[in-house]
Amino acid sequence: MRHVLRNNSGVSLVELIIVVVVVGIIGSLITMVFVNGLTSQQATAARDLATGRATVITETLADSVRNAVTIRVSSQGSRVDAVVLLPNNTFECRAWAVNRNAELVYSRGSSARTSNPDTWGPLAEKVSGALTGSPARAFASAGVNALDIGLRFSSPTTREETVITTRATAQAKTERTPPAC
């Protein structure tokens, strides 16, 4: 009897190509899932950071306005000046503005703030007004000693925007005459 030799050991070229293609497809799918997850996480982190910064800045501004004796809004609605009564019963002049570089800037001191907000310290960049008007206003007087605040914060790295609008009222009272800020 004659034995037929079979060469069935190993993998044929066709089987090898099929395995490589299947592993490549599965690897591509897994990579896409991880890349999409990472991209989504980065966008969420950027949005959360922008929202957090915007909230802190707006709440600090509103807190200063609530402790103010008087407030004054510029005719364009891009600047607000406040005479703030401090806990030690002294006054401080504070001012916020959205300057021509789209920065929210801040200045404080014992006397009136300079008329050029470009020299003040920046609080945030890529900021614009969010209240009605053309162009949109950042600040608007809302009756006696009340201030509407509307700020649009744009993320410097993504196209995300955070819009915060609120109202604050100057509530501080004193018998002393406040300085002209």
pLDDT mean across residues, the chain:
88
pLDDT per residue as tens digits for the range 112-170: 898 899 899 999 989 999 998 778 999 999 888 899 999 999 877 777 788 899 999 99
Residue 32: how many CA atoms within 13 Å on its side-chain side? 6
Residue 178 within any structural domain of the chain = no
Q: Considering the domain boundaries, does residue 22 fall inside one?
A: no
Q: Is 119 part of a structural domain of the chain?
A: yes
The answer to whether residue 3 is domain-embedded is no
In DSSP notation, 83-98 reads EEEPTTS-EEEEEEEE
Tokens found for residue 98:
């959205």
What is the span of the domain harbouring residue 149? 30-169
Q: Does residue 159 belong to any structural domain of this protein? A: yes
Tell whether the model's pLDDT for residue 84 goes beyond 60.
yes
Domain membership of residue 144 (yes or no) is yes
From its phi and psi, is residue 145 left (phi > 0), alpha (psi between -120 and 50) or beta? Answer: left
The more confident residue out of 179 and 68 is 68
Q: Whats the size of the chain, residue-wise?
A: 181
Render pLDDT for 31-66 as a digit per residue (tens, 0 to 9).
988 888 888 888 777 777 778 888 888 888 999 999
C-alpha 145/C-alpha 53 separation (Å) is 26
Asked if residue 179 belongs to a domain, the reply is: no
* Residue 2: how many other CB atoms lie within 10 Å: 4
CB-side neighbour CA atoms (13 Å) of 60: 13
Number of domains in the chain: 1
**Residue reference for tokens 């300057």:** 99
Give 146's DSSP letter.
E
- 86 pLDDT more than 80: yes
Q: How many Cβ atoms sit within 10 Å of the Cβ of residue 74?
A: 16
Residue 8, in any domain of the structure: no
